[in-house]
A and B are shown apart, each in its own frame.
Chain A
Amino acid sequence: MRGELFGSPTAAQLIEAVREFLESLGDDIPRDRAFHLRVAINALRVAERELAISREAEAGHRQRMAALGASDDTDLARTIRAGQFPPDRRDEILASVLADVEARLQANSPDYIGRYDAGE
């Protein structure tokens, strides 16, 4: 993924620098913008986490798709919508899709599974 053409700072390092700048604004932002500032910082955190894991996570996703015999999420979604998956493979499909969602949550909301299990 990370080639030498663009060198340093990498895309991830640029995002990190912008995120640190936004975090430093703190109380300089009018109150009615403070919420969106926090949302913007969170958006950059998501992007940073995605870049850190994307190569491995995408490979895992492709492996799971291949094991199910689906070409991609669109193909899998269409098959489920059409009711064309054999009932005896339900558990396997659910486990595979759940693994994808867990991988997405590592970037999008890394605390979520722990909070879910804690009953929050």
Chain B
Amino acid sequence: MALDKPYKDVPGTTIFDADQSRMGYHLNQFCMSLMKAENRARFKANERAYLDEWPMTEEQKQAVLARDLNRCIQLGGNIYFLAKIGATDGKSFQQMAGSMTGLSEEEYRDMMVRGGRSIEGNRRVGEQSGEKR
């Protein structure tokens, strides 16, 4: 029997469940390897060569090279692991989170200071943001 996944209709959200984790195992373990300074240095010196040491899919490698975090998450990445790439690049958590929203860094920060993204219109796929405000 298929697993019940009631969270599939939450907009703009990928839940890191057992299936995602299985798909993203090597991608996330690659991220984890960046906790060691020597690995960060080797990755920075030649990103492609370092990625080729991991049994990741080509799509996953391209998503990492492009720093496309939304794509990384679709392909099984988890944000806490992907944050190690951000740390390697010198990015804060807010910069990383903002990069996935289509907003500029400044727009995202301002949105948070104003109280964050509203829940209204953001509960289910198909709801129109703003309609219920």
The reply to whether chain A is a binding partner of chain B is no
Report which B residues bind A (CB closer than 8 A).
Answer: none
